[in-house]
Amino acid sequence: MRFSTQQEDYIYNRAPCYDYEVRGSSEYTLGENYTENNFSSLVYFKEKENKQIDFKTTHFFQTSKGLVYQLAQDFSSVTSELLLQLNGKGQVTQICNLEQIQQIYQEQKPILLEKYNNIPDFETVVKNYETNIQKEEKLRNSLFYYGIYRIFFAGIKELVQRHYPNRQVARTRKYNNYIFTVDLPVVETITIDKHNEGYRVTLKGKIDLEQLDEKQFLDACRTLYGKDILLSNILFETKETYELDLKLNYHKGSYSHHFEIKGKEVKTDYIEYKLKKHSFV
C-alpha cells in the first residue's frame, strides 16, 4: 500500500490526513500470577472517497517481554497497514487489502518459525493464524473489538450526526467470541455534550442481560474458571471518551475495559490517543 504525501494526487478532492500518538496499558491477574504491559504507537489515518480509510500503525513499543505479548506484536505487524471500508455507522465492513496482508504474512512466516522454533507446537499457532487471515470476515472480527484498532472505529462521528441535539442515547453491540466461541452482548449508554470548540462523547458499557444467553455464557466461564461461578461473580465494564472539533474531526479518544471473575481473574485494559498533526494531502 502506498501512503502518498504528494498534494497533486488529490488536486480535485483533498482528503484530511491525521497522525495520532497512542498510549495504553494492560493488566492481567490470574490467581497469584500478575502481568502488566505498557505500550505506545503512532497511527496514520487518512479519509478517502467512498468511506474508505488508509490506516497505518508504526513505531510500536511495549514494555513486557512475555511470550504472549511478543507473539501478538509480531503477528500484528502483518496487519500494520490496512485499507478499510466503512459503512454509514462508521463501522469497518471490509478489509480491502486482504491479499496484500496474506502476501506479507507469507514473507514473514519463515522468520517467525525460526524465531520461535524453541516453542513446542508453534507450528500449530502459525496454522491457526493462517486460518484467521484466510477469511476477511474472520480477520476483521478479530481486529476491531480491542486495542488500537478498536478506538478509531467506534462510530462516534456518526453517532453525533444522527443523534445530536439529543443528549443521551443507547445502543447495543456484540463482542464476538468473547469467552471461547460465546458472544457477549453489551449495552452502551451514550452522552453527547457540545461546547464552543466541538463535541465530547462519553460511552459507558455493561453486559446486556436481556440479550445474554446466560446458560451458554456461564457454561463457558465455568469450563475455564470452575463450576462454582455465578453470574453475580462476573463484572464487565467499559468506558470511552472522545473529543471532536466542530467539523467532527477526532482530536482525543480513550477506552477502558474491565473484566473480572471475582477471586479468579481480573483483566483491565486502557488505551488513549491524541492528535499529533492534522493536514491535507
> Per-residue confidence of the chain (281 residues) as pLDDT tens digits?
333 333 333 333 344 567 999 999 999 999 889 999 999 999 999 989 899 999 999 999 999 999 989 999 999 999 999 999 999 888 899 999 999 999 999 999 999 999 999 998 898 989 889 988 999 998 998 888 767 888 898 889 999 999 999 999 999 988 888 888 899 999 999 999 999 889 999 999 999 999 999 999 999 999 999 999 999 999 999 999 999 999 998 999 999 999 999 989 999 999 999 998 655 44
State CA 139 to chain mean position distance: 12
Considering only CA atoms, give the Rg of the chain.
20
pLDDT of residue 150: 82
Question: Which one-letter amino acid corresponds to residue 137?
Answer: E
pLDDT of residue 132: 87
pLDDT of residue 94: 96
C-alpha cell at position 62: 511495549
C-alpha cell at position 70: 511478543
Q: What is the pTM of this model?
A: 0.84
Q: List the chain domain ranges.
A: 7-280
Question: Please, are residues 192 and 171 in contact by the beta-carbon 8 Å criterion?
Answer: no
Please state which CATH class domain 7-280 belongs to: mainly beta
Rounded CA-CA distance 258/186 in Å is 13
Rounded CA-CA distance 86/67 in Å is 34
Question: Please, are residues 218 and 233 in contact by the beta-carbon 8 Å criterion?
Answer: no
Burial of 109 (0-12, 13-18, 19+ CB in 10 A): middle
Question: Which one-letter amino acid corresponds to residue 250?
Answer: Y
